[in-house]
Structure 1
């Protein structure tokens, strides 16, 4: 999903900063952006599982030195952490899901907010899940992390409302043809699901000036795209 969003932004003329831990995937996205004439992207190699306060600050300083501001931030990365009963949930998987899906989001957001506030219309878009609002057995740390994320975004939106021009949107992509979905639902036919390229349109909207009116809202990707007329049936 992150790659699909980055490509869409680059096609619209944005200079994209690609952040992730897989060098091959980062290089692939970099090459594809250059292949269609997009602005040369920046690459930041970072494993969110190991993101510390210091490393988040270093990322912010790197962006400040090279760009001066940040117009948009997409929190798309996530890990499942295993669908397991709480009684036997693996502690390492629990810690990993909370770190990547929630703690790293807080650390990056906190470090990058001054750069977003330096933009005329900073935007942050977050990826959530239906299990962040609906209690469902065996979703473990993933559901807990998404529930925490939704509370975090709600607080952030209220704090920014009258103090900043930065606006936030939280998007539930729904069932999408991704590796994580296949891991969570191995018996599901992926061909029945929309691709990341289709669903990324909802996240793209969250990074545009048009999202001003949706500040602080939680939206379902398909509902939003139906309203925008951009939904495509798989």
Structure 2
């Protein structure tokens, strides 16, 4: 399946996107809105969320919702409150796309700051796990729902510390959850590594790298739509990568 702009393939669906204030999260949110979805924009940066909101409205897409939340300090109760709010206001949730990420400290193991280590593990691993758990019953109550976890190939590389460990954990969690959901077939679950993308996050991670030749967030966002529209048999339980995404979905 080739997804084209404004094809309205997500009309009537409600999709929660984390990290929606900037980078890949913002681009994915705008892509989903262009397909007709009601995008719930979650991030800690309210002014940036409002800019994404305004951009979606200006393009004439479905009115999105803003949900400001700092994952660093959020608890399970915060995520349950979010799920309850979605149910009360939208009566459904069709998809959850995890794009939020925090880089933390790139340093050798002996020099890792313990407090920052715990914070980065929480934002990149515990937070998406708790949010997913809170939203599961809503996702199970709709047909053809999905969860996409954004991951990264740097996991076992030197100096990547808690961020790398968290991304390895997210892939493991995605596989566990996909296995648990396989028998019911109600939620399509996978992880996706978009590779190096020209974003502010990448510039912080690779300050010496010239990002001009790399794809921009808006170039990568359609990959998420391809995953959303792919059959469960094609993507469920898989760890997809941008470089092999087209061949992985070729059967579509």
TM bucket by the smaller chain? over 0.9
Let me know the Cα RMSD of the aligned residues.
1.5
Q: Quote the offset at 1:93 in angstroms.
A: 1.9
1:121 deviation in Å? 0.8
After TM superposition, which residue ranges in structure 1, 4 or more long, deviate above 3 angstroms?
209-212, 225-229
Partner Cα distance (1:60, 1:164) in 2 = 21
> What is the deviation of 1:92?
2.5
Match of 1:161 in 2: 182
Q: Answer yes or no: is the 8 Å Cα contact 2:234–2:248 preserved in 1.
A: no
Deviation of 1:164 (Å): 4.1
Show CA shifts across 1:183-212 (max 9, x none).
111000010111011111222223235455
Residues 20-169 of structure 1 mapped to structure 2, 5 A cutoff? 20-132=43-155, 135-169=156-190
Question: Could you tell me how far apart the structure 2 residues matched to 1:30 and 1:225 are?
Answer: 30
Distance in structure 2 (CA, Å) of the matches to 1:40 and 1:20: 17
Could you state the TM-score of these two structures normalised by the residue count of structure 1?
A: 0.93
In structure 2, what is the equivalent of residue 196 of structure 1? 217
TM-score by length of 2: 0.86
Aligned equivalent of 2:206: 185
Does residue 6 (structure 1) correspond to residue 6 (structure 2)? The answer is no
Structure (1 or 2) with the greater helix fraction: 1
Contact 1:73 1:207 in 2 (8 A): no
Unaligned runs of 5+ in 1: 230-234
Residues 63 and 69 in structure 1, CA contact (< 8 A), matched pair in contact too: yes
